[in-house]
Copies of this chain bind each other. A is one copy, B any other.
């Protein structure tokens, strides 16, 4: 097992800045991308912050990510817009898109912005939380073009882990903030079980015949995740349906599903063409000022007051773990596996950037 080393957020920030500068990314895009990635690491979502850097480095090496993209609004209606990300890393066009959706929401009541030709945008929850922190109800989704989810009754994976994030502002409480993959678990959980040589619960993954797989190593090798619900009897058709909804809003609506038939005549998908979807609602355009936030406080309080099965394990509300992790990590630093530190060193060396995590 890897050793965990705690590194101050500022050092992680400097390391990311150094690499992105070496790549030749514009200053503004660096600032945005690093903000998103460090906030994600602080919030405890270790898989989607610094942990993505080696993957970004690899994809950049394969020409999938452009360092100096021309990100622009290609279609603009009063409450809807389409942004072409020009193969940028996903974070800058996504922050731009959510800001534009919020602006439209403030003027019209609601705004949506689609993004096409993008890449991995980090944690979806960053963008919905960004809206909520500015008093706006926000939703963020992305398709994840690597097939990982097996549809109900199917044998092979055809959709990604397609996450849904939703956040809403309260007054007294931190925002309600949900960020979830539409698969039962993420691939990362299979990898953890593999490393530990452990079995995984029935309902997480399938084998190549489409049957339940409970061996961690075999499940990681097969990479066939179940939709949320696990199996048909327990509602996996709902998780599969939600994943398809995300695919439609992110890929179909933005035009990220436009690659034409492949050599076999079947529809194909280009892995570099990731699409996102952002929705913003200004609650003050529906309710009187402050009413929404006060009512949401009462709902959050009611949920927290639910009698728990185990008093040591109280009922939580989406966003609670991230608020707690951020408070802790701002003081203690971000826990990073030494294996990841080694991978980041390689990225720095190969990018001719200083290595700062030592």
Chain A: residues with CB nearer than 8 A to chain B? 75, 77-82, 104, 107-112, 114, 137, 150-156, 158, 164, 166, 168, 176, 178, 180, 184-185, 201, 203-204, 209-211, 228-230, 233-235, 237-242, 244-245, 247-249, 251-255, 257-258, 266-267, 279, 281-283, 285-287, 291-292, 295-296, 298-299, 301-303, 305-310, 313-318
A309 interface neighbour in B80, B178, B209, B285, Cβ under 8 Å: B209
Q: In the bound complex, do residue A108 and residue B137 qualify as a contact, i.e. CB atoms below 8 Å apart?
A: no
Q: Is A234's CB under 8 angstroms from B201's CB?
A: yes
Give every chain B residue within 8 A of A244 (Cβ-Cβ): 176, 178, 299, 303, 317-318
Instruction: Select from chain B the residue with minimum beta-carbon distance to A253.
Output: B286
Q: How far is the CA of A247 from the CA of B313 in the complex (A)?
A: 23
Contact of A211 among B255, B305, B309 (CB under 8 A): B309
**Shortest Cβ-Cβ A-B pairs, 7 listed:** A80-B109, A210-B309, A77-B109, A79-B108, A178-B241, A154-B306, A79-B79
In angstroms, how far is the closest chain B Cβ from the Cβ of A136? 12
**Assembly CA distance A281 to B79 (angstroms):** 10
A-B contact pairs, 17 of them (CB 8 A): A77-B285, A78-B79, A78-B109, A108-B108, A151-B303, A154-B315, A168-B248, A180-B238, A184-B235, A185-B235, A229-B230, A244-B299, A244-B303, A253-B292, A255-B291, A258-B291, A258-B295
B245 contacts A114, CB within 8 Å? no
Tell me whether A254 and B286 are in contact (CB under 8 A): yes
Beta-carbon contact of B166 and A252 below 8 Å: no
Q: Are A238 and B228 in contact, CB atoms less than 8 angstroms apart? A: yes
Rounded to whole angstroms, the CA-CA distance of A224 and B315 in the bound complex is 15
Query: In the assembly, what is the distance between CA of A204 and CA of B81, in Å?
Result: 41
A179–B171 Cα distance when bound, in Å, is 32
Q: Given contacts A151-B303, A235-B185, A235-B228, are A298 and B267 in contact (CB under 8 A)?
A: yes
Task: Decide if A296 touches B252 in the complex (CB within 8 Å).
Answer: yes
- Across the interface, which residues of B come within 8 angstroms of A257, CB to CB? 295, 298-299
Residues of B within 8 A of A107 (CB): 78
Contact between B286 and A82, CB atoms less than 8 A apart: yes
CB-CB under 8 A for A75 and B286, given A110-B111, A253-B281, A291-B258? yes
B178 close to A242 (CB less than 8 A): yes
The CA of A298 and the CA of B228, in the complex, are separated in Å by: 24
Instruction: Compute how far the CA of A114 lies from the CA of B313 in the bound complex, rounded to whole angstroms.
Output: 35
A81 to chain B, nearest CB (A): 8
Q: How far is the CB of A168 from chain B (nearest CB, A)?
A: 5
* Inter-chain contact A252/B168, CB cutoff 8 Å: yes
Residue pair A78, B78 in contact (C-beta under 8 Å): yes
Is B296 within 8 A of A248, CB to CB? Answer: yes
Closest to A317 in B: B244
Contacting pair A248 B110 (CB below 8 A): no
Of all chain B residues, the one with the shortest Cβ separation from A168 is B248
- Taking CB as reference atom, which chain B residue is nearest A296? B252
Chain B residues positioned under 8 Å from A114 (CB to CB): 286
**Which B-chain residue is minimally distant from A258 (CB atoms)?**
B295
